């Protein structure tokens, strides 16, 4: 896929562009190095460091390759991030400080950034000329005027959160397009809101707590409304709401003055009652904040009444019960709280609290009973919870240093649970004597094989991976050489068996396309051809492409996708 460097954003999928831009802005791209004429290489920090190589000829990217496993399309986010890095000055982009490359790294060429140019201009420009320029821009552009007022204006003494709400509304109006705020506009909104949040931080630093809280309240309320008509897929607006809430909660937990406590408690109660943040985690957050501020029986009673309204077998209902327990322990004493806790163990949040208390108090028989009751309570409807209660039985056995029970429960959970099986495997390896370990593992493999459970093959593969039995893993993959299975274990086998994987992919893709037609299927097949390329199978890919062109010349969609491999 050839990409014009100065128009690369027109050639790459929007979702990939967004992710690449985020990588670049987060400083994950090391300075690209020119390894030869038109050949560039850069490291992009991700789950692990990935190497991106580009070849640019006459302003066009004619070749690009990344060491990451992405294969959904022709360009991954790491390639996009490096393209943003190469074009950052043209696009006027900023980034965080990039990670050091170590000794011997090539130093980037010294040239002024856009930010440095602006700083130099501001240091020398005539103040009157600057003021006149700002006035003219504010009169000509509503968006500029609103951003200027929202970012730099300060309210007169005594003004409340309505002032900040007006400024936030102005920012939102400036970025709406037919009633909607798109992704890039959402990022600009977030930058404007961040300027207002900075006012809150300054208020808190100068001990003007009340004014700072008004800023946070206004941000939360206005931005939650904005989520209904804004594309916040990268979480920029949600991040502003989180920042505002975190600042409010920090004040609530700092033992503030009585008037500030009352202001925050009343606001939390209003937010819960009027459901200002209903459907979002911030609704539960307001419950937690109000509970942290309760100081007397009257406040506790009012909050308990609201918590009792939050019934239901959902996240909000379960969380409200857990908060109620903490509130009872704070206001009514531990005995009353424990009595209510034990009467409501059907709520898994409360059962976890009860189990932890029993374990902390070394009440092992009580902990076992609570866990076993949980198994009986949930075995019909919630098998995932059943395994969690077995995990608590394992914790009790470990606390009592009961080796036989530890092996029993760890073995059971390894065979039955889909959550963190490798943790249970590691526990078993610690408990079984080394000389008996291999025979123990072989017995596990036999038992799993006889179960015919849907996850049996995967669990056996996990054993082979843990033990480093790579040839047995390869043979397991050969038993069902379909595309997803090969892809799942590619990373474990590629070092020693890359050639075999290429052959398996070619076989699987050929069989796949015998039965599958349609653009989506063609794209999927081409994804795995790109994996073959990364495994060093360029010749095999060429042969496969030639075979497919000869076999299916009338599949126009397939021919087009093959051109993009």
Domain annotation covers residue 241: yes
Q: What is the DSSP letter of 230?
A: B
Between the CA of residue 468 and those of 353, 434, 488, what are the distances in Å?
39, 16, 16
Domain annotation covers residue 457: no
The Cα 496–Cα 331 span in angstroms is 63
The Cα 443–Cα 455 span in angstroms is 17
Contacts of 320 (CB under 8 A, 6+ apart): 284, 287, 307, 310
pLDDT at res. 106 = 43
Do residues 237 and 154 both lie within one domain? yes
Identify the burial level of 257 via C-beta atoms within 10 angstroms of its C-beta, where 0-12 means exposed, 13-18 middle and 19 or more buried: exposed
- Which two tokens mark 273? 């009652």
Do residues 71 and 162 both lie within one domain? no
Do residues 246 and 154 both lie within one domain? yes
Long-range contacts of residues 317-325, Cβ cutoff 8 Å, at least 24 apart: 318/347, 318/348, 318/349, 319/284, 319/287, 319/349, 320/284, 320/287, 321/347, 321/349, 321/350, 322/347, 322/349, 322/350, 322/353, 323/284, 323/287, 323/288, 323/291, 325/350, 325/353
Do residues 227 and 147 both lie within one domain? yes
pLDDT at res. 352 = 96
Contacts of 481 (CB under 8 A, 6+ apart): 504, 507, 508
User: Final residue of a domain: which of 254, 286, 317?
Assistant: 254
- Which two tokens mark 9? 């954003």
Domain annotation covers residue 55: yes
pLDDT at res. 98 = 52
Neighbours of 143 (CB within 10 A): 15
The Cα 133–Cα 127 span in angstroms is 10
What is the residue range of 12's domain? 3-96
pLDDT at res. 153 = 56
Q: What is the DSSP letter of 10?
A: G
Neighbours of 364 (CB within 10 A): 15
Domain annotation covers residue 196: yes
pLDDT at res. 520 = 87
pLDDT at res. 408 = 97
Name residues of the chain where pLDDT drops below 50.
100-111, 155-158
The Cα 231–Cα 268 span in angstroms is 27
The Cα 151–Cα 170 span in angstroms is 11
Domain annotation covers residue 334: no
- Sign of the Cα torsion 67, 70, 75, 81 reads negative
Domain annotation covers residue 489: yes
Number of structural domains (the chain) is: 3
User: Final residue of a domain: which of 197, 223, 254?
Assistant: 254
User: Final residue of a domain: which of 227, 254, 281?
Assistant: 254
Domain annotation covers residue 166: yes
- Which two tokens mark 305? 């009444």
pLDDT at res. 1 = 66
Judged by DSSP in three states, 258 sits in helix
Q: Which of 306, 389, 286, 397 is nearest to 346 (CA)?
A: 389
Q: H-helix or E-strand containing 64?
A: strand 60-66
Do residues 7 and 82 both lie within one domain? yes
Whether 96 contacts 26, CB under 8 Å: yes
Domain annotation covers residue 239: yes
Do residues 240 and 168 both lie within one domain? yes
Whether 335 contacts 366, CB under 8 Å: no
Query: In sequence order, what E strands does 190-264 have?
Result: none
The Cα 280–Cα 293 span in angstroms is 21
- Looking at the DSSP bridge assignments, the partners of residue 177 are 180
């Amino acid at each position: 896929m050839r990409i014009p460097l100065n128009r690369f954003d027109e050639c790459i999928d929007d979702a990939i562009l967004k992710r690449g831009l985020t990588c670049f802005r987060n400083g994950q791209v090391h300075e690209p190095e020119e390894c030869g004429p038109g050949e560039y290489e850069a490291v992009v920090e991700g789950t692990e460091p990935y190497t991106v190589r580009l070849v640019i000829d006459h302003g066009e990217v004619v070749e690009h390759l990344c060491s990451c496993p992405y294969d959904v399309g022709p360009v991954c986010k790491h390639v996009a991030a490096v393209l943003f890095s190469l074009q950052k000055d043209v696009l006027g982009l900023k980034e965080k400080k990039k990670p050091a490359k170590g000794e011997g790294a090539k130093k980037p060429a010294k040239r002024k950034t856009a930010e440095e140019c602006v700083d130099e201009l501001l240091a020398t420009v005539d103040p009157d000329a600057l003021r006149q320029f700002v006035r003219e821009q504010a009169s000509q552009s509503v968006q500029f005027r609103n951003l200027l007022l929202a970012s730099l204006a300060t309210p007169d003494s005594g003004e409340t959160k309505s002032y900040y709400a007006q400024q936030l509304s102005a920012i939102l109006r400036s970025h709406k397009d037919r009633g909607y705020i798109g992704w890039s506009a959402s990022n600009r909104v977030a930058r404007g809101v961040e300027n207002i949040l900075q006012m809150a931080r300054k208020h808190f630093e100068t001990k003007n707590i009340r004014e700072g809280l008004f800023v946070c309240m206004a941000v939360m309320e206005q931005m939650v409304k904005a989520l209904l008509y804004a594309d916040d897929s990268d979480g920029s607006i949600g991040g502003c709401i989180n920042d505002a809430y975190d600042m409010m909660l920090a004040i609530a937990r700092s033992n503030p003055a009585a008037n500030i406590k009352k202001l925050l408690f009343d606001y939390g109660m209003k937010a819960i009652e009027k459901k200002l943040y209903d459907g979002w985690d911030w609704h539960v957050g307001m419950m937690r904040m109000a509970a942290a501020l309760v100081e007397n029986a009257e406040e506790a009673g009012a909050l308990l009444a609201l918590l009792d309204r939050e019934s239901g077998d959902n996240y909000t209902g379960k969380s409200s019960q857990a908060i109620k327990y903490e509130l009872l322990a704070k206001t009514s004493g531990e005995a009353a709280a424990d009595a209510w806790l034990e009467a409501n163990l059907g709520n898994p949040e409360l059962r976890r609290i009860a189990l932890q208390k029993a374990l902390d108090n070394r009440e092992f028989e009580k902990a076992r009973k609570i866990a076993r009751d949980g198994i009986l309570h949930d075995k019909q409807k919630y098998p995932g919870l059943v395994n969690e209660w077995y995990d608590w039985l394992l914790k009790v056995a470990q606390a009592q240093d009961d080796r036989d029970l530890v092996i029993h429960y760890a073995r059971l959970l390894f065979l039955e649970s889909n959550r963190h099986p490798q943790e249970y495997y590691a526990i078993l390896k610690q408990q079984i004597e080394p000389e008996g370990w291999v025979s123990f593992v072989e017995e596990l493999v036999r038992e799993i094989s006889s179960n015919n459970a849907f996850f049996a093959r995967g669990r056996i593969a996990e054993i082979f991976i843990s033990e480093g039995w790579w040839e047995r893993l390869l043979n397991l993959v050969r038993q069902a050489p379909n595309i997803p299975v090969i892809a799942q274990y590619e990373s474990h086998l590629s070092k020693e068996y890359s050639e075999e994987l290429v052959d398996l992919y070619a076989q699987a893709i050929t069989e796949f396309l015998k039965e599958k037609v349609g653009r989506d299927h063609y794209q999927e097949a081409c994804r795995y051809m790109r994996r073959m390329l990364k495994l060093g199978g360029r010749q095999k890919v060429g042969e496969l492409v030639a075979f497919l062109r000869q076999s299916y010349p009338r599949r126009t969609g397939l021919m087009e996708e093959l051109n993009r491999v």
